[in-house]
Amino acid sequence: MRQLTILFLLACASCSMHAAGPPVASSPGLLDQIRAQAGTAACTESSQCQTLALGARACGGPELYLAWSSAHSDGRQLQALAERYRNERKAALAKSGLLSDCRVVTDPGAQCSAGRCQLRGTAAAY
């Protein structure tokens, strides 16, 4: 039991030393390019609104989601850019050795509100 407690404390200390702080540097230009491609996410109905998973967390899964409109953006191009950005983030995380809190970031979905696709539960699209 004592060995298990010591192992647990060492694991916790390791996590706190490498807890996810500021984002690991990757290509900020690529994220700007993704946002520019998504544009204003103009919509006339919620069926045009989609979400795009962006980035990567050390434990897996995306860092965040972006709302975009299928009426005004090319989904294939956005997906390709998002994949490239995800790969860059994964490589940067692996190189840095940072760990995350392993919290799951769930897809909030998107809806058309005031003529713009917005993440559900937020006042504006990311």
Would the pLDDT of 102 be above 70? yes
Token pair, residue 122, equals 């937020």
Candidates 59, 91, 84; CA nearest to 76 is 84
Q: Tell me: the pLDDT tens digits for 82-98?
A: 999 999 999 998 898 87
Find the range with the poorest average confidence among 9-13, 29-33, 114-118. 9-13
Residue 118, CA distances (Å) to 63, 82, 92, 109 in order? 17, 18, 29, 8
Residue 38, CA distances (Å) to 8, 80, 124 in order? 44, 13, 14
Q: How far apart are CA 22 and CA 24, in angstroms?
A: 6
User: Between 59 and 77, where is the model more confident?
Assistant: 77
Half-sphere exposure of 52 (CA within 13 A, CB side): 30
Q: What is the predicted pLDDT for the residue at 59?
A: 86
Nearest 10 degrees: Cα torsion 28, 30, 34, 35 = 30
Q: What are phi and psi of 58, to 5 degrees?
A: -60, -35
